[in-house]
Amino acid sequence: MRIVLFPVLFVLAMALFCTSCLNNQSRLPEKGVSQELARQRYNQISRPAYELSFHIPATKAEPVAGTATITFTHEDPPNDVILDFDGGSDHIHQVKINGEAADYDMVNGHLLLSRSFIRQGHNRVYVEFTSGEQAMNRSEEFLYTLVVPDRASTVFPCFDQPDLKAVFSLNLELPETWTAIANGELTLEQQQNGRRTMFFSPDQPIPTYLFAFAAGVFQTESMTRGNRTITLFHREDRDDRLQTNLDDIFELHFSALDWLETYTGIPYPFLKFEMALLPGFQYSGMEHPGAIWYRDNRLILDEEPARTEALSRAALIAHETAHMWFGNLVTMEWFDDVWLKEVFAGFMADKITHPQYPEINHELEFFLTHYPRALAVDRSQGTHPIKQELENLKLAGTLYGAIIYNKAPIVFRNLEEIMGQESFRLAVQEYLRTYAMDNADWDDLAEIFDRHSKQDLEQWSERWIYGTGMPEISTEGMDEETARAARYLKMHERFLDGEGDVYTYFRELKAQIRREESHRIATYLLHNLDEVFWRFFDQDARMRHAAALESLLWDRVQQSPASEKNSYLGYYASVVLTDSGTNRLVALLEGSPEIPGHSLPEERRFNLIAALKLRDHPEAPRLLQELKEHTASADRQRRIAFVQPALSSDPSVREAFFYGLANPDNRRPEPWAIEGLGYFHHPLRHSHSVKFITPGLELLEEVQETGDIFFPLRWLEATFRGYGCRESVTATWEFLEQDTDLHPNLRLKTLQAADLMFRAASRSPEPG
């Protein structure tokens, strides 16, 4: 009886507490931050500010402890206050409100504070706590926070919603050999008893999702131009590689800042500009004011990068810099408008990079960057409007994808054409001035756009922002190269819709690649060819076509300019199947045959060895061991060790890797987890891995809850990698039909990621 009675008494006690503590609430706060809770707090709470202090231990195994002093103004009449803290009740150690020890409770990741302690007007809440690990990305030698969109509450108690902007002051107590970067300026530094304490001052008001700090063993580089200094934190151990890239990295940031100040008419809005290059970082970049995070290998390029790689780096830098105005100066009210900050950042990045790379056909680049990816979602059963509904911030990560990053820029370019460039710019400037250091939604911006436009934009907005549908592709007015790319894209879409047979299209792709002079278009065609080869062919068909395909690609490797060789070599390694082809990779890794004007950097060497491991080549283990012995960086050593089991020829080792991913701790760093999962599901492993599609899908909701914003879609894409068989389709549909509680946004993501698999399985290639 006691086993049954205790939970009943506990629930009754909780109900009594919450009735007294939250007697004006219609119900207990649900997990995450609901729109209802966000609106209620916005109407009650104003001028929040945070004084935060964290004790960072020397070892990863020890938890991070902290204190938070949260001040805010509470409207009349005083009401109960709900803070967000997703660390559990055992992670809260003390709470004081206005100087008094206060009663509190924890419900569904919220810290409940009774109105009996809350005053009308100014309030001060002090909390001692232990941070959760979810957003505290920790290695033995460094850590960094990543709290977008709703993970600040796993690090410290807060009002974790974008429309309650606040100022932050921060103290970090660190091991003596560590340093740190944060949003604010470093104002004081002290050392005592083998520890270092760093004090960071407040800057402008920002939402909680932009709060950030990184700490660890970092080196720094700085450059000053005029009255502006930019500082770079990094862990790159290859000084020659760093120095090759350093000037370009700084120059691209200075150039982007100058351009944005001119275009917007608003000086850089924050006190400092710093960045950290992080190994294994989940995204390409993240735009915290004063402290941008980048994945290190997106900015540190090989000695002879392809023009498209250099342009991609410039666009990334411009994108994150543009966010200082679009997203950080003016922030969306709710994450259903996350697309707005992203489309502005991408749209401005395109404008910024044009004069930086005048030799590049930017119309072609825009077309091939955005249209194929946008169509890939819009053609699928998982398509959705640009502006999606979002009832709770815990699901904000499900909004991200190609509709935001690729379709929305196409739509905004159309809007600028309708309005004219100058009218569009004047509207943007008014928007930034009107809502500076505040929040706005699409309707606020649309009203300003409408005033600056000669056309009524309401119907346009209903069709393109709130509606669904594939953009129409017209070659009218395109330059010759872009028109040619558009024709290739239309041909590919017709093929995916079922037109023609597989082998005819495959032969046509090879013919197009042979005669195509544009490297950018050729790589698009190669992407399509690779897709057909792995998804639409069975292994017998691949072997019949392998030798001719390898010959075509090796010719491209040999004959192309130095900056283009790596991309062709990557496609060669992707499709190689013959003994002569794999032996050529071995010889290349050993220094012969040499490719004129080309050397193999470490990252490329690992990729080639991974290709050999997937093909169970007998020399692959030796080559991998030699690479590990010559890899000096502990970060790169960790990455190789992480993914190596997924490449094993032993199915039991691969299975152990997969089952290990069921533990969220084993899915960090996320890019490594996705890389390993992609190896696990490589087409050459499908006969073994297909049975793991269902277990992978069954982890999807938990992956979404514990992973960062791009992780669920990337998890799905890796799970469906290269599949085109009926068994994989059956497993996917059975999962979707049986899991009726799967959130609609995750269902859409699954349908997006599975679209090519569905289409490939419906085609039966004729012998040829």
Is the pLDDT score of 562 beyond 90?
no
Is the pLDDT score of 87 beyond 90?
no
Q: Exposed, middle or buried: residue 257 (CB in 10 Å: 0-12, 13-18, 19+)?
A: buried
In a domain, 483, yes or no: no
pLDDT category at 13 given cuts 50, 70, 90 is very low
pLDDT at 469: 81
pLDDT at 470: 77
Higher-pLDDT residue of 171 and 601 is: 171
Span of 294-308, 378-392, 530-544 with lowest mean pLDDT: 294-308
pLDDT at 176: 96
Contact call for residues 755 and 381 (beta carbons, < 8 A): yes
* 210-247 pLDDT tens trace: 999 999 999 999 999 999 999 999 999 999 999 999 99
In a domain, 490, yes or no: no
Task: Output the CA angle 429-430-433, nearest 5 degrees.
Answer: 85
Task: Output the CA angle 590-593-596, nearest 5 degrees.
Answer: 115
pLDDT at 669: 95
Question: Is 208 in the same domain as 267?
Answer: no
Is the pLDDT score of 592 beyond 90?
no
> Could you identify the residue written with the tokens 């549909």?
733
Boundary residue ending a domain (186, 217, 248):
217
**CB neighbour list of residue 668: distance below 8 Å, 6 or more residues apart:** 137, 280
Nearest to 579 by CA among 552, 522, 619, 624: 619
Q: What is the CATH number of the domain that holds 287?
A: 1.10.390.10
Based on the structure, what is the number of domains in the chain?
5
In a domain, 470, yes or no: no
Question: Is 620 in the same domain as 649?
Answer: no
Span of 263-267, 274-278, 630-634 with lowest mean pLDDT: 630-634
**CB neighbour list of residue 642: distance below 8 Å, 6 or more residues apart:** 669, 672, 673, 676
pLDDT at 4: 36
pLDDT at 765: 58
pLDDT at 652: 98
In a domain, 420, yes or no: yes
Distance CA 178, CA 142 (A): 8
Is the pLDDT score of 53 beyond 60?
yes
Question: Is 70 in the same domain as 200?
Answer: yes
Question: Is 592 in the same domain as 643?
Answer: no
Contact call for residues 159 and 208 (beta carbons, < 8 A): yes
Question: Is 164 in the same domain as 181?
Answer: yes
pLDDT at 547: 97
Q: What is the pTM for the complete model shown?
A: 0.94
pLDDT category at 646 given cuts 50, 70, 90 is very high
pLDDT category at 17 given cuts 50, 70, 90 is very low
pLDDT at 563: 85
In a domain, 671, yes or no: yes
Distance CA 595, CA 588 (A): 8
Question: Is 212 in the same domain as 65?
Answer: yes
Peptide bond into 149 cis (omega under 30): yes
pLDDT category at 764 given cuts 50, 70, 90 is low
Boundary residue ending a domain (599, 630, 661):
630
Distance CA 688, CA 227 (A): 60
Boundary residue ending a domain (174, 195, 217):
217
335 phi and psi angles, rounded to 5 deg: -75, 0
Question: Is 69 in the same domain as 204?
Answer: yes
Strand order in the sheet with 179-182: 136-138, 142-145, 213-216, 179-182
In single-letter form, the type of residue at position 312 comes to S
pLDDT at 29: 92
Question: Is 274 in the same domain as 423?
Answer: no
pLDDT category at 474 given cuts 50, 70, 90 is confident
Mean pLDDT of the 376-393 span: 96
Q: Exposed, middle or buried: residue 530 (CB in 10 Å: 0-12, 13-18, 19+)?
A: middle
Distance CA 363, CA 477 (A): 11
Is the pLDDT score of 428 beyond 60?
yes
In a domain, 489, yes or no: no
Percent of the chain at pLDDT > 70 equals: 96
Beta strands in 349-424 (DSSP E): none
Quote the distance between the C-alpha of residue 415 and its chain's center. 26
Percent of the chain at pLDDT > 90 equals: 89
Is the pLDDT score of 5 beyond 50?
no
In a domain, 508, yes or no: no
In a domain, 559, yes or no: yes
Contact call for residues 607 and 623 (beta carbons, < 8 A): no
When the pLDDT of each residue in the chain is averaged and rounded to a whole number, the result is 93
Question: Is 761 in the same domain as 670?
Answer: yes
Question: Is 619 in the same domain as 565?
Answer: yes
In single-letter form, the type of residue at position 641 comes to A
Q: How many CB atoms lie within 10 A of CB 209?
A: 24
Question: Is 584 in the same domain as 723?
Answer: no
Mean pLDDT of the 539-565 span: 94
pLDDT at 376: 96
Mean pLDDT of the 636-663 span: 97
Is the pLDDT score of 14 beyond 50?
no
Is the pLDDT score of 20 beyond 60?
no
Question: Is 211 in the same domain as 222?
Answer: no
* 664-721 pLDDT tens trace: 999 999 999 999 999 999 999 999 999 999 999 999 999 999 999 999 999 999 999 9
Range of the domain at 726: 635-768
| DSSP 8-state assignment for residue 79 | -
